[in-house]
Amino acid sequence: MTFKNLLAKSRRERRSGAALVELALVLPLIMLLLVGTLEVGRLVEVQQVLSNGAREGARQSSLGTLSSDQVSLVVCQYLAEAGLPDYTSTRSTVVTVEVAPAPSYSPWMTADATSASKLDGLRVTVSIPANDIKWSLLSLITTPTTQITAQAVWSSEKNQSYPTYTEPPVE
């Protein structure tokens, strides 16, 4: 082996050692960014599932055939089918159904969905603890009491009863 080859080999070995040190310094940062991106993606997914569940509950309550407890059960079943924990046993703390008179939609009152009249406002709120869906680093930016909440407002489409007999117009 010539002297020139020995120098080139020595340089390559030092360079591969430098690359290993660089990787050791940058890899934790890259992994932190990757896990953080996954965690934010999970939060966005859960928020979308909660919004869809609240919308489904509001749609079901607008028909006027289901009680608030039945609406809560529909929402909890939707959340469970979407991969979130099953909240059916604690549905009264997770799902809230409120009614407000039309046209102002004020004030909102916790009432049974079947008590709503046609065009009254129905608001379904779904709120779950962030700790139930976290994967890893979420505890660094949330507290144990942090809630993830979604809400949907719908108008009651309860059927009105129509008279069966009407007087003919007088001529």
pLDDT digits 0-9 by tens, 89-111: 998 899 999 999 888 878 888 88
Report the percentage of the chain scoring pLDDT > 70.
83
Q: What is the pLDDT of the chain when averaged over all its residues?
A: 84
pLDDT in tens, 31-65: 988 988 888 888 899 999 999 999 999 999 998 88
Cα gap 90→96, rounded to integer Å = 12
98 neighbors 117 (Cβ within 8 angstroms) = no
Q: Which whole number is the average pLDDT over 103-122?
A: 86
Q: Which of 150, 130, 152, 149 is nearest to 40 (CA)?
A: 130
Q: Given this model, what pLDDT does residue 42 score?
A: 86
Q: What is the pTM of this model?
A: 0.76
